[in-house]
Amino acid sequence: GEASSVTLESMRYGVPVIVRSDFGWYSELPDDSVVKVASEEEILEKLISLKNNKEKLRKISESAQKTTLNNFNTEEYVKKLISPLRGRNE
């Protein structure tokens, strides 16, 4: 929970986040909103690539902000929390 929260807050502010491409919930994040790596060995390579490609870095930042705004806002969170309960009273 805490790591996921930090990831989303970083994305909300447009800070590029590096996640494992095959690890749980992180693998479900959009490919254009985070930097995905398959192993720790890839991290340095990805960081150097981003340092040398400011346009790609800008696009990831913008996409991360849009992703959190559209999918991980308070309203969506509450909807997901109460959705299992809606069918019980109907």
pLDDT tens readout for residues 1-47: 667 889 999 999 999 999 998 888 898 899 999 999 999 999 999 99
> Which pLDDT value is given to residue 84?
83
Residue 32 neighbours by CB under 8 Å, 6+ apart: 59, 60, 63
Report residue 84: phi and psi, to 5°.
-65, -25
pLDDT top residue among 66 and 85:
66
Which tokens is 36 given? 């995905």
Q: What is the pTM of this model?
A: 0.77
Mean pLDDT across the chain:
88
Mean pLDDT (whole number) for 76-86: 78
CA torsion sign, 64 to 67 to 72 to 75? positive
